[in-house]
Amino acid sequence: MYSGAPKSKSAGEIPMNAEMQKRALAARDAHLALLELKKLVEDAAQATHDAEFEAIHLAIDARRSGDVRTILRVIMDRLSSAKFETALSQAREKLETAAS
């Protein structure tokens, strides 16, 4: 039966402004998208760092053979991939949504 009286709030329940709640969720989505982008960039940075050390070892030890250019091309391909472009685009879009 409806009494017409407003419902009492539960202990610990915090009323939220609907617009601010929407913005908070949009900011969270943007943060998650940026974390995905960060992971891709950090993976590329680590692989580049590894290639740097390999190049140093090749320069120091004339008996070793190898070429780090192949590794660097793979990294460049990753940063030009559809997966990277999608992650970058999603991060931008979600940031724009959160800021609007």
Q: What is the pLDDT of residue 4?
A: 52
Domain ranges across the chain: 18-99
Q: What is the pLDDT of residue 61?
A: 87
Q: What is the pLDDT of residue 26?
A: 94
CA pair distance 100, 97, nearest whole angstrom: 5
DSSP code at position 64? -
CA pair distance 3, 9, nearest whole angstrom: 16
Mean pLDDT by 10 residues, the chain (100 residues): 52 79 93 97 97 92 85 95 96 94
Q: What is the pLDDT of residue 8?
A: 52
Q: What is the pLDDT of residue 16?
A: 78
pTM: 0.74
